Chains A and B, each alone.
Chain A
Amino acid sequence: MKKKIVSVLLVATMLSTMVSGCGKTAGSGGTVNAEGIKEFTAFFAVPGSEINDDNEVQKLIAEKTGCKVKETWLTGQTAEEAVGTLIAGGEYPDFIDGGNGSVQLYEAGALVPLDDYIDKYPNIKEFFTEQEWDQLRQSDGHIYWIPQFSNIYGEERACTHNDEAFWIQTRVLEWAGYPEIHTMDQYFDLIEDYYEANPTMEDGTENIPYTILCDDWRYFCLENAPEFLDGYPNDGSVIVDPDTLTVIDYNTTDTAVKYFKKLNEEYKKGIVDPESFTQTYDEYIAKLSTGRVLGMIDQWWDFAYTAEDAIKSAGLDDQGCQYVPLPITIEEGMTNQWHNSGGVLNVSSGLAITTSCQDVEGALQFVNDLLGQEVHDLRFWGVEGTDYLVGDDGMYYRTQEMRDQASDTAYKASHTCSYSYFPQWTGTSRDGKNAMKSDGQETEFYDGLSDSIKKCFDAYGVKTYVEMLGTSPAPGSWYPMYTFSSSMTTSTPGGTAWTLMGEIKHQYLPKVVMADDFDAGWDEYMKAYNECHPEDFISEMQTELERRVAEAAKYE
């Protein structure tokens, strides 16, 4: 009896193997389905949001372009691992963005060179300047991938400062009568004064004057302020002196010493949250969400869509618990570069077409179509009448209801299809009025502001977060250097030094801030730091800087 059951099951297993085993290759290469739509596959080696098979906007785009793409994303693996398995298997989806594994794909010969095709597709051609296209050439002189992001069409449209800053709650500024705060010392003085006068919130909860997020890779909230305090832009891993074109290590500058010494003093005074270095990201967000934290350094995206939302939903915006950025430098009278204008061309990865794709021209035609204004609007605004309305002046706007549904996870999966890892524009639409993406639309932005933020902006005579900081012109042609440091591996001395430096900083910086004797703590840190051979890293960065500058000089 048992044997029979087993054999039945075995047969069933084998059958199901055979049934599902056939007809499935990785790259379907533009197979035309029953409705006459070409179907492509795509894999992006980053975590992402999968959309439903019967997604509505995807259907509309398919009707207009004759193509649809089934996207899959990285889950539970590193990009290198995922790409490594694909290369080992030798089968690829039609489109791919290898993320950190992009070079591996190129070296494996898995990608189709795109340079011969680009001229045939006007929207793709238009996407980059000649110089930018040349920056994308690999060692064999061909272009294999198209970076998708941060590419500005027409006038730049930035309302929020999406990046790093010293943030402070509006209630602190209001209490002090909206003073001009320009230096780190002024910032901490203000927080100290406020905290002394107001140790608790309205409901009696104790305020936390200043907290530092230090969880895993998010420890940038602790470590990279010295580069901004010195008035340099976010090159990420180093400072570039624009006059001498040399790379400076921001970890060892006088400003770095001053900054950490200040944190150390504030820690001893009880201003810096004692749980700073042990809290997880979730705990940090929970703290911010209760409105207790007066100020911190962070990137906007890291807390805006979680903590800021929670503050609003709890009605704490009326108490002035929302955050605004301050233009802080180490000394009075320096220009700050917390916010820079201009896009960022990250040449290290992008959308590529693989050798498994049977219909390269069809695939590129689809990319071209996605950049057309009509389809672009479908991707980033949605369907007119359902997702947005058009005013008499031609401006797109949304009702509160539309805004709510636009952020609903289930609605996004079933309705919205932005093909988010395909090339896309930011900035101003080809109609010259609207923003390319809904988050750049000023009207949308103003509607979302709470009264306390508006009041604060009025007091400083500004209209947006960006104006709180002021905008600096785009840095030089080398910018940003982090695109190089993030692609370093331990196969070079510089890459090894870079990884080690990260470890040491992660381990020692909290100790430095908590040290009883700052100078001794700092010396100990510097000793460990110098053992990592940071000079190897700096010299490789210098070489890359010179290469980039020389490359750019060809076009001047």
Chain B
Amino acid sequence: MEQTKTGFMNIALAPKAKEGKAEKTAVKKRKKISTGDLIFRICNGLFMLIFVIVTLYPVLNTLAVSLNDGTDALRGGIYLWPRMFTWKNYTTVLQKDNLITGATVTVARTIIGTVLALVTNAILAFIVSRKDFIFSKQLSLFWVITMYVNGGLIPTFLLYKSLGLTNSFAVYVIPGMISAFNMLVIRTYMKGIPDSLEESAQLDGAGYTTIFLKIISPLCKPVYATVALFVAVGQWNSWFDAMLYNRMSGDLTTLQYELMKLLSSVTNQSSSAEAMKNSNGSVTPTSVRAAATIVTMLPIICIYPFLQKYFVTGLTLGGVKE
């Protein structure tokens, strides 16, 4: 591993000498735009515009469907704007029993789960990214394998049950806390941090704990934010564990599980002989699903800018600072 300097580190360490010059020219940098540059910018802007339209469309379409009468939406032809406006889908979703309990549990598991996952994955990544660590390679392999093996539903269930994890909050945050994927993402980032930092700290007598907390972690903010986002979104959206392990514990239900049950109710109702014929302002699985999707997306959209600043900073803020 010592010989395999990554491409990044080669260049990361090389141009230190030029830094002085770079600073001076930085001020004038943006002024001159060549024709080639201009064409590139226009093309790039166009590409981004198309990309935005293509990706925004399904979201706006979902929003439109969620604000449209369910029965009317069955006829299709709703694109960006609701045809028969109603709040009915949202009131149906928000009136769901236990939604508050579910939301509380979901917020709790998102916060606790994200912190736990971030801390443990960071520690693990730190360990395996130490070049001199004696079991570095074996420990990595041990975790990489976990990505591709799966014992199946029933053995996992039995295990959690015997560990006392069923009917408990812990089942949301303890299993799956450390994941090889997140660990590897952090590890890659940590490996990109120049060794010189760690070496000089070690000369000052700093132990591994200090190096981890004081030197490596502050530099890893962008990757920590990325992993936190991944874990948080996973936690926020999960419901299968609530269904499987905490079915009988109503106070441990999650937001998504409640929404899944609501969807299931509506689906069931729309094909049941009990449903009396009625067309005034009724909801359908499609319209409720759309509203539920928007409701679950909103908090993430709101929190996103706070995380985003760490990984979309642009050239001026980013980089390894010493």
A437 at the interface (CB under 8 A from B): yes
CB distance from B117 to the nearest CB of A (A): 12
B106 at the interface (CB under 8 A from A): no
CB atoms of A12 and B264 under 8 A apart: no
CB atoms of A48 and B268 under 8 A apart: yes
B154 at the interface (CB under 8 A from A): yes
* A410, B69: Cα distance in complex, Å: 15
CB atoms of B275 and A85 under 8 A apart: no
CB distance from B108 to the nearest CB of A (A): 8
CB atoms of B97 and A52 under 8 A apart: yes
CB distance from A225 to the nearest CB of B (A): 21
A179 at the interface (CB under 8 A from B): no
B270 at the interface (CB under 8 A from A): yes
CB atoms of B154 and A305 under 8 A apart: no
CB distance from A282 to the nearest CB of B (A): 7
B103 at the interface (CB under 8 A from A): no
Least CB separation from A304: chain B residue: B277
Least CB separation from A315: chain B residue: B279
* A48, B247: Cα distance in complex, Å: 15
B95: chain A residues at CB < 8 Å are 410, 413-414
B35 at the interface (CB under 8 A from A): no
CB atoms of A48 and B266 under 8 A apart: no
Contact with A along B236-280 (1 / 0, CB 8 A): 000110011001111110000100111011111111111111111
* A286, B77: Cα distance in complex, Å: 9
* A71, B275: Cα distance in complex, Å: 20
CB distance from B26 to the nearest CB of A (A): 35
B282: chain A residues at CB < 8 Å are 309, 407-409
Contact partner, B76, options A10, A21, A290, A313, Cβ 8 Å = A290
Contact partner, A72, options B247, B262, B280, Cβ 8 Å = B247
* A13, B119: Cα distance in complex, Å: 15
* A285, B271: Cα distance in complex, Å: 12
CB atoms of A409 and B266 under 8 A apart: yes
Contact residues, B271-301 vs A (CB, 8 A): 271-280, 282-284, 286, 288
CB atoms of A409 and B92 under 8 A apart: yes
A6 at the interface (CB under 8 A from B): yes
A139 at the interface (CB under 8 A from B): no
* A380, B274: Cα distance in complex, Å: 9
Contact with A along B153-179 (1 / 0, CB 8 A): 110011001001011111001100000
A495 at the interface (CB under 8 A from B): no
Contact residues, A21-37 vs B (CB, 8 A): 21, 24-26
A202 at the interface (CB under 8 A from B): no
CB atoms of B72 and A314 under 8 A apart: yes
Least CB separation from B270: chain A residue: A305
Contact partner, B169, options A16, A313, A380, A407, Cβ 8 Å = A16
A47: chain B residues at CB < 8 Å are 264, 267-268
CB atoms of A305 and B74 under 8 A apart: no
Contact partner, B75, options A6, A289, A305, A403, Cβ 8 Å = A289
A252 at the interface (CB under 8 A from B): no
* A306, B170: Cα distance in complex, Å: 42
* A52, B69: Cα distance in complex, Å: 24
Contact with B along A1-27 (1 / 0, CB 8 A): 010011001101110110011001110
CB atoms of B261 and A17 under 8 A apart: no
B115: chain A residues at CB < 8 Å are 5-6, 9
Contact partner, A26, options B97, B244, B248, B277, Cβ 8 Å = B248
CB atoms of A420 and B274 under 8 A apart: yes
| Count, A-B residue pairs, CB within 8 A | 190
B268: chain A residues at CB < 8 Å are 47-49
CB atoms of A9 and B116 under 8 A apart: yes
A76 at the interface (CB under 8 A from B): yes
CB atoms of A21 and B158 under 8 A apart: no
CB atoms of B119 and A21 under 8 A apart: no
B202 at the interface (CB under 8 A from A): no
Contact residues, B125-143 vs A (CB, 8 A): none
CB atoms of B154 and A85 under 8 A apart: yes
B226 at the interface (CB under 8 A from A): no
CB atoms of A310 and B168 under 8 A apart: no
A406 at the interface (CB under 8 A from B): yes
The residue among B115, B119, B275, B283 with the most chain A CB atoms within 10 A of its own CB is B275
A59 at the interface (CB under 8 A from B): no
The residue among B115, B169, B262 with the most chain A CB atoms within 10 A of its own CB is B169
B308 at the interface (CB under 8 A from A): no
A439 at the interface (CB under 8 A from B): yes
B279: chain A residues at CB < 8 Å are 309-310, 312-313
B283: chain A residues at CB < 8 Å are 409
Taking A13-B112, A312-B279, A439-B276 as contacts, is the C-beta distance between A89 and B166 under 8 angstroms?
yes
CB atoms of B278 and A412 under 8 A apart: no
A76: chain B residues at CB < 8 Å are 239-240, 243, 260
A404 at the interface (CB under 8 A from B): yes
Contact with B along A38-60 (1 / 0, CB 8 A): 00010100011111111000000
B309 at the interface (CB under 8 A from A): no
A175 at the interface (CB under 8 A from B): no
A448 at the interface (CB under 8 A from B): yes
Least CB separation from A398: chain B residue: B276
CB distance from A321 to the nearest CB of B (A): 12
CB atoms of A313 and B280 under 8 A apart: yes
A314: chain B residues at CB < 8 Å are 72, 75
A85: chain B residues at CB < 8 Å are 153-154, 157, 244
The residue among A6, A16, A285, A418 with the most chain B CB atoms within 10 A of its own CB is A16
A43: chain B residues at CB < 8 Å are 247
A24: chain B residues at CB < 8 Å are 167, 248-249
CB atoms of A404 and B248 under 8 A apart: no
A104 at the interface (CB under 8 A from B): no
Task: Show the binding face of A for B, using Cβ within 8 Å.
Answer: 2, 5-6, 9-10, 12-14, 16-17, 20-21, 24-26, 41, 43, 47-54, 70, 72-77, 81, 84-85, 88-89, 93, 162, 282-283, 285-287, 289-290, 301-302, 304-310, 312-314, 380, 403-404, 406-410, 412-414, 418, 420, 437-439, 444, 448
Task: Show the binding face of B for A, using Cβ within 8 Å.
Answer: 69, 71-72, 74-76, 91-92, 95-98, 108, 112, 115-116, 119, 153-154, 157-158, 161, 164, 166-170, 173-174, 213, 239-240, 243-244, 247-252, 257, 260-262, 264-280, 282-284, 286, 288
Q: What are 17 inter-chain pairs, A to B, with CB distance below 8 A?
A: A21-B167, A41-B248, A47-B264, A76-B240, A84-B154, A89-B166, A289-B74, A301-B272, A310-B279, A313-B71, A313-B280, A380-B274, A407-B275, A408-B282, A409-B282, A410-B91, A418-B274
